[in-house]
Amino acid sequence: MKARDLVSVYRDLLAHYGPRHWWPADTPFEVMVGAVLTQNTSWTNVERALDRLRGVVVLEPRAIVALPVDVLADALRPAGYYNVKERRLRALCQWVVDRGGLETLHRMETRALRTALLGVHGVGPETADDIVLYAFGRPVFVIDAYTRRLFARLGFVRGQETYEGLRARFERALPRDAALYNEYHALIVEHAKTTCRTKPVCDACILRACCRAGSSFGRRGRKRVTVIAGE
DNA sequence: TACCAGGAGAAAA
DNA sequence: TTTTCTCATGGT
């Protein structure tokens, strides 16, 4: 993956959509909650769940941990997988409490913070990186389904790359800059939501090459990617 | 009606 | 170690 190609895509997206001012949350802790709830789920459903959650509890780790299981699960219902996400959100909140709160976490070195997050039940690489980047402002590039899909269509991704391998490629090709990674990922999400969403060829796509490459996906959005164009 | 949507953990092979 | 299955609601 060539650095100038990645920078070029970024410039095109930024010129078209403008700064996105992400992540859509008021506090770092709200970012953490949203990162769990958005797993395999659209953001509109996450917002419904967040609204319901605010209706039963203040968004603080200790308060959420204190909620009965059925109350928390019911609040998360609109985000889907509510029983799974109840356990995952509770585990994340308990971890924050056990670590001494967000202030303590803010003092951790980036790699240590990321590793610690990956040890929390329900926090995989993408969720950890969402949190590290958007809640803690650290320079890690988030590789989500939108990112894979876009760069597969552009021919930058061959498929089968591991999450860590792909993240490393992006971080090697771009300046180590949290603000840049923040904006880039936000623009990728905006692009995915507005164009190229349901069909492999999209007339409205501003990244014309993105639609020429083509791609195929397995059922339920599994990351089985076929890339026609070369790197 | 069927498929898709910003994953991750557990079980099976 | 890798692959498959499961979890669930809401929109198109």
The CA distance from A162 to A166, in Å, is 6
Homologous superfamily in CATH for domain A28-135: Hypothetical protein; domain 2 (1.10.340.30)
pLDDT score of A219: 33
The CA distance from A101 to A61, in Å, is 8
Q: Hey, what are A170's tokens?
A: 């992006």
CATH of domain A3-20+142-221: 1.10.1670.10
Write down the number of H helices and E strands in chain A. 13, 0
For residue A13, name the pLDDT band (cuts at 50, 70, 90).
very high
End-to-end CA distance of chain A: 6
Q: Hey, what are A112's tokens?
A: 């240590």
Covered bases, chain C (protein CB within 7 Å): 6-12
Covered bases, chain B (protein CB within 7 Å): 3-10
pLDDT score of A92: 97
Residue A147 exposed, middle or buried by CB count within 10 Å (0-12, 13-18, 19+): buried
**Protein chain A, residues 14-73, with a C-beta closer than 7 Å to any atom of nucleic acid strand C:** 40-42, 44-45, 48
* CATH 1.10.340.30 placement within chain A: 28-135
**Protein chain A, residues 148-207, with a C-beta closer than 7 Å to any atom of nucleic acid strand B:** 163, 189, 192-193, 197-198
Nucleotide nearest to A118 (CA to C1'): B8
pLDDT score of A19: 94
Instruction: Quick: pLDDT tens for A34-46.
Output: 999 999 998 999 9
* CATH 1.10.1670.10 placement within chain A: 3-20+142-221
Instruction: Quick: pLDDT tens for A45-100.
Output: 999 999 999 999 999 999 999 999 999 999 999 999 999 999 999 999 999 999 99
